Structure 1
Amino acid sequence: MLIDAATHACEFDYSVDTVQEVTGAVEQCKTAVHTLIEKIGAALAAVRGRNLDDIRSLGDANVYSFVLGLVADAQLLLEAVDVQLLPHPELHVELLANVRKTLCEAASICIKQQCAGNPEYSVPAECDCQNPQEWDFPSTSMEAVYSILVGDFVECRIM
């Protein structure tokens, strides 16, 4: 997922680099995209050499926590890009949507792996997975649950 996110971010970067008229908005966009690519690169470096399918220790779960923080930072950078100020905004909206979707998928994987590696993050055993109303979430809508979980992780900064 992170490699896909880097690929999509580079596609967006290339598209922005082809813009003929350079304005302050275009420069701001380029800076945000370059920082975004750096965050994704740092996340890739953090998982380098690790078996991503098998969480054997709390340290492995902590790596996912670190990567999740980088992904959250990258998502915030995406929000700072105002594609309406760029020429051909419809193309840039689509390219950014690809990056956003891939980052969300990467965040989802990080959350799942954290839960697998550290029982503290997991749904309590007494909660019936077939009956999510017992989980005591304010809503049983998966979108609402996702926003609650991701919102908590986005606010968390890991140093």
Structure 2
Amino acid sequence: MSFEMTKGLFKYDFTDQHAILGIPLDAEFNDIRKRYMKIARRLHSDTCSFESQADKDWANQFLSKVVNPAYNKFSKESDRKEYSLLLAAIGKRVVKEQAKMQIESEAAKQLATAKDWEEAYKTAVSKLALKQYESVKETQEAIDQISELNMVYLLRKERQGIATPPPPPP
């Protein structure tokens, strides 16, 4: 089974663990754990409510090969710190390569121009997370969209910290 994800931060050869778990980039560990437990109940072979056997098999494989490793990345303090450093580096790369950036999802396009972008980001991620694991198709689409939101969020966050140069003297 292939679980290829190619949008948002995944384009930068980076595994977007936050998108896989459907959580904002600034989520606290307790929130990450709660979200993981909810997903694990949804996808586990004993409790999965997907209709077809093929979808149930996909869910079980996705849980073990994608969701569990994503959660494990946050389980240890040292792994969380390493992941945060990688995320910061990706944020800087996103700013450098923003001219080539392609945003496909409507939610990410809206976030790119939102006034209160931090609140808009959290709202959009929460909305997508509600339906993220309802079906195989929705899982892939939601992960792609959340990763695009994460990409735009990092771009906006990085640009916020960049001081604009002073105007040239008259």
Which category of TM-score, normalised to the shorter sequence, fits these structures? 0.3 to 0.5
TM-score by length of 1: 0.32
TM-score by length of 2: 0.31
Task: Return the structure number with greater relative CO, CA threshold 8 A, min gap 6.
Answer: 2
